[in-house]
Amino acid sequence: MTFSNVFSVEANTRMSNPIRQHYLAQAGYLRFFTVPDSDRVFQYKRGKRPVSIGVRDAGLERHLYSFVDADGKRNYEIETKVFAPLDGKASEIMAKLNIGTGSVSLTETEAQWLLAFIAFQAVRTPAFRDMLLRFDADYLAKSRATNSDLRAQIRRDFGDVSEDEVEAYCEAVKRKTFEVTNDPRYWLRRMARFVQLIQSELAAKSPEILRSPDEVVITCDHPVVADYDSGFAASDVILPIGSHSILVCHAAAPWIAVDGGYRIPARCIGGARTRELNLRVMTSAEVFLFAAVAHDRIAQRFERSPRPRRMHLPD
């Protein structure tokens, strides 16, 4: 599969100014993990008992993607022009992936939207933002380079880096202290780079739906699970897609092409395999888990699980 940009078709998105911004889309994602016949989900937090909350109150942060622009006005365009159309498309595609027991066929465009959704879901969370800013702060603190030398060093360390990304690093250096942690624009500029990389790497993987009829699947506040030390290209990528379904994108295996699109195979897995995958999701969680059930076993395991160490420089 080749990667292409799918957002140009959504130029007429209705504008709004949402203050509460979801990193787990209500209709596009979390509704597939709700208690049956409700709009509620159980939220787990380390050290707390699970609580039932509405999906509109889960997986969100105030002004997560908005920022104050050069004119001193709050800018909401990333939420309204990127995530609103993406989450709308994701709702349709996730419904297809969760319905039935057999394989699922997607058109070329639907497959591209799925790639975009997974890539953005990997980088749009507060967990990824905080990880990225810690990584950049560590990298810049350890680099003893002058501003002119830094450009060459970045290209040596990270390969084919866009000029915008180089400028973002250099801007951070000029500030002496790492004030970018208080400026959403820095993270949002860096986010675009990671989305492009992840989409292209996902396009080379083979997706498979694992259905778990007898065990509930959980998700978390950073639900795209990958080996950050090996990178997305070398590792399988896991995304829970519903209370009984998990999407696994297998490394080094191509998509299955059919007339006009692609086929995603599906198979059933047992309780032991589901619990193993749930544990991987749990160890990817920063603060919260979400599930259609409140279960002491899940809460106890989550309490014992450490916060993950994602993307870090060698010690």
Residue at 87 is within a domain? yes
Among the listed ranges 29-38, 192-201, 249-258, 277-286, which one has the minimum average pLDDT value? 192-201
Q: With respect to residue 99, please indicate whether it lies within any of the assigned structural domains.
A: yes
**309 within a domain of the structure (yes/no):** no
Quick check: is 312 in a domain?
Answer: no
pLDDT digits (tens, 9 = 90+) for 30-85: 999 999 999 999 999 998 999 999 999 999 999 888 888 878 888 888 888 889 99
Domain contains 256: yes
Per-residue pLDDT tens over the stretch 255-270: 999 988 999 999 999 9
Which residues are paired to 267 by β-bridges? 210
Domain range enclosing 149: 16-304
Q: Which of 286, 298, 288, 284 is nearest to 217 (CA)?
A: 298
Any domain includes 138: yes
What was the pLDDT predicted at 72? 85
In a domain, 230, yes or no: yes
Structural domain contains residue 315: no
Structural domains counted in the chain:
1
